[in-house]
Chain A
Amino acid sequence: LAKTTQPISMDSYEGQEVNITCSHNNIATNDYITWYQQFPSQGPRFIIQGYKTKVTNEVASLFIPADRKSSTLSLPRVSLSDTAVYYCLGVGGAGSYQLTFGKGTKLSVIP
């Protein structure tokens, strides 16, 4: 399982774009990069997943460079409700059932 490294915390003002970068130097060839979001007193929630290049959904975008040693989660125009902890995971395919959550990045959105 890929070991990931993220900043412990970030602050942002409302309306700004937030980019959270995750390092995963030993990611395996068949691992996907997956991001989860966790609000206080709730379980984590899947946000986005990708293998390489760019993936976009209604919540976020995920940028993965060609070497796949890092990835960047981009949250456009954040609001107070985006205050949460964001986890980056390397997720394997068949035969790899375990998700390893690191400590995540605590994003605080300021009015």
Chain B
Amino acid sequence: DVKVTQSSRYLVKRTGEKVFLECVQDMDHENMFWYRQDPGLGLRLIYFSYDVKMKEKGDIPEGYSVSREKKERFSLILESASTNQTSMYLCASIDGQGRSSYNEQFFGPGTRLTVL
């Protein structure tokens, strides 16, 4: 059974803290994604990676960075957390060489982050 796991389901941090959200997939997928989901706004892409050490900005990268040192792991970093980054964060991965998105995208369970 394919799996995308995220390090925490719930996280509470304070403004200004550095926050790490970890995502691991066991499907040997090349492509990994970080989204945030907010009520009324749907899912918005923050960053994605199509290979180890490769990354590209999505629609809303400001305030975030990412790291992909190993194929199976994709980390989202909030350098200095702010209250407007309170959200549900979803990690996903997709199979396929290059940048094909025809294949099914597998999502993790999400991390609900609250920044106080």
| Residues of chain A whose beta carbon lies under 8 Å from any beta carbon of chain B | 32, 36, 41-46, 49, 87, 91-104
Chain A residues, Cβ within 8 Å of B102: 32, 49, 91, 93
| Residues of chain B whose beta carbon lies under 8 Å from any beta carbon of chain A | 4, 31, 33, 35, 40-45, 48, 50, 58, 90-92, 94, 98-102, 104-110, 112
Chain A residues, Cβ within 8 Å of B45: 98-100
Minimal Cβ-Cβ distance residue in B for A42: B109
Closest chain A CB from B96 CB (angstroms): 8
Q: Looking at the complex, which one of A36, A96, A104 makes contact with B101 (CB distance below 8 Å)?
A: A96
Given A42-B107, A49-B102, A103-B42, output 6 extra A-B contacts at Cβ < 8 Å: A36-B105, A87-B43, A92-B101, A94-B100, A95-B98, A98-B45
Rounded to whole angstroms, the CA-CA distance of A45 and B3 in the bound complex is 12
Rounded to whole angstroms, the CA-CA distance of A93 and B96 in the bound complex is 10
Whether A101 pairs with B43 at a CB distance below 8 angstroms is yes
Closest chain B CB from A42 CB (angstroms): 6
Closest chain A CB from B44 CB (angstroms): 8
Rounded to whole angstroms, the CA-CA distance of A47 and B96 in the bound complex is 19
Whether B99 pairs with A43 at a CB distance below 8 angstroms is no
Closest 3 CB pairs of A and B: A43-B107, A97-B99, A101-B43
Q: Looking at the complex, which one of A42, A49, A98 makes contact with B110 (CB distance below 8 Å)?
A: A42
Closest chain B CB from A82 CB (angstroms): 18
Closest chain B CB from A92 CB (angstroms): 6
Whether A43 pairs with B42 at a CB distance below 8 angstroms is no
Chain B residues, Cβ within 8 Å of A98: 45, 48, 58, 101
Whether B99 pairs with A94 at a CB distance below 8 angstroms is yes
Q: Given the known inter-chain contacts A42-B110, A43-B90, A43-B108, please indicate yes or no for A87 contacting B99, CB distance below 8 A.
A: no
Minimal Cβ-Cβ distance residue in B for A46: B104
Whether A97 pairs with B40 at a CB distance below 8 angstroms is no
Whether A91 pairs with B101 at a CB distance below 8 angstroms is yes
Closest chain B CB from A66 CB (angstroms): 21
Minimal Cβ-Cβ distance residue in A for B43: A101
